[in-house]
Amino acid sequence: MIISDEHKIQRWVLATFYHSVHGDEWTNREGWIEINDNGVNECTWYNIMCDSSGFIVGIDLKNNYLWGDIPMEISLLYKCGEFNIMGVHYLLCSLSSLLPFFKNILVYQATI
């Protein structure tokens, strides 16, 4: 399976996000960071929504025990229109400081 550079970048962004907000401690991390020969990709990871081309259009990780620092790289998900992290445990940065870097964000929900 050939993976485009854009898809490699989005997978790298999600991996960076996962490690920055302590994904190993999430309530549900089904599929995250799993790579195998069966073609499992980031569009099958828990609460990642993708369009028909496999680009991430939404992330919904509310009430999933995220804590840490949201990396600026998350803004590279340029097709992402929804980012929901309501009910997070503790974040070291304000997501609102990253919002100017999201080009297509339509729905943003967080309680920090």
pLDDT of 27-41, one tens digit each?
999 988 875 545 568
**Hey, is 77 helix, strand or coil?**
coil
pLDDT over threshold 70, residue 20: yes
Q: How far apart are CA 72 and CA 17, in angstroms?
A: 9
pLDDT classification of 112: cutoffs 50, 70, 90 = very low
Those residues with Cβ within 8 angstroms of residue 111's Cβ, 6 or more apart along the chain or in another chain: 86, 87, 88
pLDDT digits (tens, 9 = 90+) for 55-108: 999 999 888 888 888 888 888 888 888 877 776 555 545 555 665 655 555 444
**Hey, is 42 helix, strand or coil?**
helix
Structural contact between residues 92 and 69, judged by C-beta atoms closer than 8 angstroms: yes
pLDDT over threshold 90, residue 24: yes
Q: For the chain, which domains are there?
A: 5-110 (3.80.10.10)
Q: Which amino acid is at 112?
A: I
Q: What single string gives the DSSP state of each residue in 55-80?
A: -EEEEE-TTS--EE---GGGGG-TT-
Q: How far apart are CA 20 and CA 95, in angstroms?
A: 13
